[in-house]
């Protein structure tokens, strides 16, 4: 696996996505398509092509995916790291909501129509496993073999953001992708990024169901008081900005501790010091085509939903 194959993999994923969307548009209501089927197909679109490319890569599987053991103490610190980066992600999500719809909130009614354990597995476990396998495993693994880790992290995070196919998720998914790649380098293991991603998504699912329960116990007057104006949203965002300004630097300190605990402090340092290292061009024609297709799709969706 190298950067060229990573780029072809991403283009394949995007083309499969378009093919599935076109098929569903043609079939219309003739195929019942609930939220569970939606989630399975969404993850299948990325994991099936990745498995195909992995099978054809000819490389030893663990050389690409890096399913290495991590220390229990590191696992506990990964939990802390995850919660420390959440305020930053919340801020980015809130900022994007000023000009685009929250993609997760738009699906909330469908999500809540399914029992909590099922959605916790689908969104909190199954989704992160597939996405980490593809983007931190296959895509990032291919880029690392072809260029510097610095550019591999940036490029794989960009593709992870674009993969969500909407501007709202793309913005904060890009930052999450950066954090997950750094975490993987700090530990040398794909299990680390999977654990972080699973905790993050599971927390979001829990909050969604919990907030619905709390709102269900409120009176109409109390619900009216909860409704946020744009001014109050800005105030709340300002508060989260302050929190994120404190927790994000601490998160990086935790990341450094994890790297030292796993004996990978030098590997983490090498991300910055080796940013000028060049082996081969990481940006190729298939990647450019895929990025243009993603941006065109996202722009069209943005225009149609306004």
Question: Sorting pLDDT into bands at 50, 70 and 90, what band is 265?
Answer: very high
Q: Report which of 271, 291, 275 is spatially closest to residue 283, judged by C-alpha positions.
A: 291
Say which range, 11-15, 62-66, 158-162, 196-200, has the weakest mean pLDDT. Answer: 62-66
Question: Sorting pLDDT into bands at 50, 70 and 90, what band is 45?
Answer: very high
Helix 167-187 with 230-261: angle, nearest 10 deg: 20
pLDDT reading at 273 higher than 50: yes
Q: Give the pLDDT confidence of 202-248 residue by residue, as tens digits.
A: 999 998 888 777 656 555 554 455 555 556 667 778 888 999 999 99
pLDDT reading at 17 higher than 90: yes
Question: Could you give the CA distance from residue 137 to residue 1 in angstroms, rounded to a whole number?
Answer: 10
Within 8 A by CB and 6+ apart from 61, the residues are 54
pLDDT reading at 174 higher than 80: yes
* Cα end-to-end distance, the chain, whole Å: 41
Q: What is the pLDDT of residue 301?
A: 84
Rounded CA Rg of the chain: 20
Q: What is the pLDDT of residue 302?
A: 81
Q: Give the pLDDT confidence of 93-113 residue by residue, as tens digits.
A: 888 887 887 777 778 888 888
Q: What is the pLDDT of residue 216?
A: 60
Q: What is the pLDDT of residue 223?
A: 45
Q: What is the pLDDT of residue 54?
A: 87
Q: What is the dihedral of CA 149, 152, 154, 156, to 10 degrees?
A: -140
Q: Give the pLDDT confidence of 58-89 residue by residue, as tens digits.
A: 666 666 788 889 999 999 999 999 999 999 99
Question: Could you give the CA distance from residue 161 to residue 123 in angstroms, rounded to a whole number?
Answer: 17
């Amino acid at each position: 696996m190298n950067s060229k194959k990573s780029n072809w993999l991403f283009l394949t994923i995007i083309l499969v996505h378009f093919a599935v969307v076109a098929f569903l548009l043609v079939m219309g209501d003739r195929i019942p398509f609930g939220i569970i089927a939606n989630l399975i197909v969404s993850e299948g679109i990325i994991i099936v092509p990745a498995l195909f490319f992995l099978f054809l890569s000819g490389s030893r599987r663990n050389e690409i995916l890096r399913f290495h053991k991590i220390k229990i103490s590191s696992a506990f610190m990964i939990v802390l790291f995850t919660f420390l980066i959440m305020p930053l992600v919340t801020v980015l999500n809130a900022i994007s909501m000023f000009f685009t719809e929250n993609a997760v909130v738009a699906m909330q009614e469908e999500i809540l129509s399914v029992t909590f354990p099922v959605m916790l597995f689908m969104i909190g476990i199954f989704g992160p496993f597939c996405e980490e396998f593809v983007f931190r495993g296959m895509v990032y693994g291919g880029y690392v073999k072809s260029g510097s880790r610095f550019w591999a992290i940036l490029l794989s995070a960009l593709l992870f953001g674009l993969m969500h196919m909407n501007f709202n998720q793309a913005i904060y998914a890009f930052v999450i992708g950066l954090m997950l790649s750094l975490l993987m380098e700090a530990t040398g293991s794909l299990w680390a990024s999977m654990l972080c991603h699973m905790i993050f998504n599971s927390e979001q699912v829990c909050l969604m169901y919990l907030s619905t329960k709390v709102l269900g116990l409120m009176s109409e007057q109390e619900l009216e008081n909860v409704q946020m104006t744009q001014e109050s949203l800005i105030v709340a965002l300002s508060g989260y900005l302050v929190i994120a300004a404190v927790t994000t630097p601490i998160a990086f300190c935790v990341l450094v501790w994890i790297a030292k605990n796993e004996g990978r402090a030098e590997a983490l340092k090498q991300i910055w010091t080796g940013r000028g290292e060049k082996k081969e061009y990481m940006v190729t024609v298939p990647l450019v085509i895929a990025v243009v297709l993603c941006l065109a799709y996202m722009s069209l969706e943005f225009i149609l939903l306004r």
